[in-house]
């Protein structure tokens, strides 16, 4: 199924401006830092220790890949946009970091990795772009390639957050996405239970005021 984020980020101009647009202001930098540390905390809940091999998908410009390496992990990046992946070399010098195993263009619905190829998967700022059926396929793929489990940031919907998003879009403070698929916590839990997985932990980046909630998930029956 097609959705806008699958194609728009392939544009070089958009990829070049991605970090500048989102993370240059103090509030953007704060949100970016908070979400990265929340994702890394999720890896600890999975029991992924130092030197574990983690997949960042979508890696985008490599900002989370870089933070994972700084925490002592080895990392691989996958993203459908080579233009975004190239930014990882320009902005974060990933090519000079030994624990960086490599980056490859690929689709989260069909990851170019063998079963259990990595210890854990991190997925930041993707779920809100994916229609429900695509989300389900993407989550199954992440669980297939990971030995321990996955840490996934979802865009949570509550009445307050729905109102806030509409206001930000209306005032132009946040660019309006042509496709946006947020969910209630109950929807997210049903989706995860439906793919035979379980939630070990969840964490919000800013309590009730931010829609981003990271879920630490593993396949049922894995310990
Ligand atoms: C909002 S950016 C997030 C990038 C990065 N995770 C971050 O937090 O900065 C969304 C990314 O998803 C990638 N993407 C969209 N659909 C994808 C797919 N089917 N498979 C892999 N990457 C995809 C885009 O190319 C883009 O880099």
Ligand 1 atom closest to Cα of 35?
A: 8
Instruction: Tell me if 63 sits within 8 A of 57, measured CB to CB.
Output: no
Residues 6 or more apart from 180 whose CB is under 8 A from it? 128, 129, 155, 165
Looking from the CA of residue 130, the nearest atom of ligand 1 is 16
Question: Using a 6 Å cutoff on CB, does residue 58 contact ligand 1?
Answer: yes
User: Does the beta carbon of 63 lie inside 6 Å of ligand 1?
Assistant: yes
How far is CA 212 from each of CA 46, 63, 154, 182, rounded to the nearest angstrom? 19, 17, 6, 10
Interval 2-27 mean pLDDT? 92
3-state secondary structure of 104: strand
- pLDDT tens-digit readout, 100-134: 999 999 999 999 999 999 999 999 999 999 999 99
What is the C-alpha to C-alpha distance for residues 40 and 109, in angstroms, rounded to an integer? 23
What 3-state class would DSSP assign to 139?
helix
Task: Check pocket membership of 155 for ligand 1, CB cut-off 6 A.
Answer: no
> pLDDT tens digits for 138-163?
999 999 999 999 999 999 999 898 88
pLDDT digits (tens, 9 = 90+) for 155-192: 999 989 888 888 988 888 877 777 889 999 999 999 99
Q: What is the 3-state secondary structure (H, E, C) of 90-102?
A: HHHCHHHCCCEEE
C-beta of residue 147 within 8 angstroms of C-beta of residue 118: yes
Q: Where are the domains of the chain?
A: 5-219
Instruction: Tell whether domain 5-219 is in CATH 3.40.50.150.
Output: yes
What residue's CA is closest to ligand 1, atom 10? 126
Give the number of the atom of ligand 1 that is nearest the alpha carbon of residue 63: 9
């Amino acid at each position: 199924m097609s959705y806008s984020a699958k194609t728009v980020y392939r544009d070089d101009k958009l990829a070049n401006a991605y970090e500048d647009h989102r993370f240059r202001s103090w509030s953007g930098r704060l949100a970016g830092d908070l979400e990265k540390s929340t994702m890394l905390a999720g890896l600890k809940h999975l029991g992924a220790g130092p030197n574990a091999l983690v997949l960042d998908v979508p890696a985008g410009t490599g900002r989370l890949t870089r933070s994972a390496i700084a925490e002592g992990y080895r990392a691989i990046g996958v993203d459908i946009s080579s233009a975004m992946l190239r930014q990882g070399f320009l902005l974060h010098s990933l090519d000079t970091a030994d624990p960086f195993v490599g980056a490859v263009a690929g689709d989260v619905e069909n990851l170019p990795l063998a079963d259990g190829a990595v210890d854990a998967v991190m997925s930041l700022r993707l779920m809100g772009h994916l229609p429900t059926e695509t989300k389900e396929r993407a989550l199954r793929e992440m669980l297939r390639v990971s030995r321990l489990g996955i840490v996934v940031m979802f865009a949570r919907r509550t009445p307050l957050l729905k109102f806030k998003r509409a206001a930000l879009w209306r005032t132009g403070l946040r660019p309006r996405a042509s496709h946006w698929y947020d969910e209630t916590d109950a929807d997210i839990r049903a989706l995860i239970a439906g793919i035979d997985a379980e939630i070990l932990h969840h964490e919000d980046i800013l309590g009730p005021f931010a829609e981003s909630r990271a879920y630490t998930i593993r396949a049922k029956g894995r310990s």
